[in-house]
């Protein structure tokens, strides 16, 4: 049965609404979504045509950030919050290509991600992966459970890619980040991506309003200054807070950086 408009929001005949993890999977070209996700994903794309590029640029950022963290920063432990559905180059695969003893804890609160979590539990024998069904707004629970897999007395890279935008209250989002980072030692890192209405993303406002009426969880964009505040007191790794498409990106043959997308990305180190 196909999706349709019921009441004042979009749902399918089972009352199912679109979920971010599945729509993100749709934009990335995956197969783990329902027709309702496709319908909402297509409407958002019609309102904000570069959303697919944002999703792909975000995943490319993930690969470059994890490579940086594993190769240049020597990090061997990763806490990936708001993991999303398994796709190509999940965090442990990128990290374990560099260091087969890398350990990764994945965290998401979407039931579909939980169903597919087995595909994330494919660690090398030397390393480890685990999956935690938890809400990012409960950092104490996340830290308690992560300690079963990670040594929290040693540096950890906290990955928060496309997740704080689902914590609409900025003070709450800051407090989540602070609680996580305060619990970790010097040499730990934060890798973050976040949508913005800057960087040419003005057209995203209407699409986000549509999303918030028709899909879940509710999303918010933030300004450069708001996103920079998540890194306060930490050392931003070069090139700092930039469009995630350009963070340590390879230049094209004519020496240009890739086209910007309206999603900031940065990596910072705890001094």
Whose Cβ is closer to ligand SAM: residue 108's or residue 260's? 108
The answer to whether the bond into 217 is cis (omega within 30° of 0) is: yes
Mention every residue, 6+ apart, whose C-beta is less than 8 A from residue 79.
Answer: 104, 105, 107, 142, 146, 150, 156, 157, 158, 159, 180
* Closest CB 38 distance from ligand SAM, rounded Å: 16
* Closest CB 24 distance from ligand SAM, rounded Å: 4
Whose Cβ is closer to ligand SAM: residue 114's or residue 154's? 114
Contact 201/220 with Cβ under 8 angstroms? no
* Closest CB 42 distance from ligand SAM, rounded Å: 17
Q: Which residue is nearest to ligand SAM (CB)?
A: 84
Paired tokens of 173: 């989002």
Rounded to whole angstroms, how far apart are CA atoms 184 and 181? Answer: 5
Residues at the contact surface with ligand SAM, assessed by CB under 6 A: 20-21, 24, 58-59, 62, 82-84, 108-110, 113, 135-137, 161-163, 166, 217
Whose Cβ is closer to ligand SAM: residue 3's or residue 195's? 195
Whose Cβ is closer to ligand SAM: residue 113's or residue 180's? 113
* Closest CB 80 distance from ligand SAM, rounded Å: 7
Rounded to whole angstroms, how far apart are CA atoms 117 and 106? Answer: 9
* Closest CB 254 distance from ligand SAM, rounded Å: 29
Whose Cβ is closer to ligand SAM: residue 144's or residue 154's? 144
**Among 65, 154, 157, 160, residue whose Cα is nearest residue 108:** 160
Measured between alpha carbons, how far is residue 92 from residues 46, 106, 233, 241 in Å?
A: 34, 9, 28, 24
């Amino acid at each position: 049965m196909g999706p349709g408009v019921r009441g004042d929001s979009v749902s399918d005949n089972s009352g199912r609404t679109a979920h971010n993890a599945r729509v993100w999977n749709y934009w990335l070209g995956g197969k783990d979504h329902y027709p309702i996700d496709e319908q909402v994903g297509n409407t958002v794309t019609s309102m904000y045509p570069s959303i697919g590029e944002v999703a792909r640029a975000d995943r490319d950022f993930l690969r470059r950030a994890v490579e940086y963290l594993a190769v240049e920063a020597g990090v061997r432990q990763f806490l990936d919050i708001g993991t999303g559905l398994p796709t190509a180059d999940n965090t442990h695969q990128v990290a374990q290509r560099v260091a087969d003893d890398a350990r990764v804890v994945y965290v998401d609160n979407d039931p579909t991600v939980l169903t597919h979590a087995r595909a994330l539990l494919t660690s090398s024998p030397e390393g480890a992966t685990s999956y935690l069904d938890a809400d990012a707004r409960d950092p104490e629970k996340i830290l308690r459970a992560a300690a079963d897999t990670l040594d929290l007395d040693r540096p950890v890279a906290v990955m928060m890619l496309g997740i704080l935008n689902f914590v609409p209250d900025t003070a709450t989002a800051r407090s989540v980040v602070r609680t996580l980072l305060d619990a970790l030692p010097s040499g730990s890192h934060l890798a973050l991506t976040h949508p913005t209405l800057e960087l040419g993303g003005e057209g995203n406002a209407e699409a986000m309003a549509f999303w918030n009426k028709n899909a879940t969880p509710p999303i918010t964009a933030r300004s450069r200054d708001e996103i920079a505040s998540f890194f306060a007191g930490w050392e931003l790794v070069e090139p700092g807070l930039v469009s995630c498409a350009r963070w340590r990106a390879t230049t094209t043959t004519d020496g240009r950086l890739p086209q910007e997308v309206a999603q900031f990305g940065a990596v910072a180190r705890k001094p």
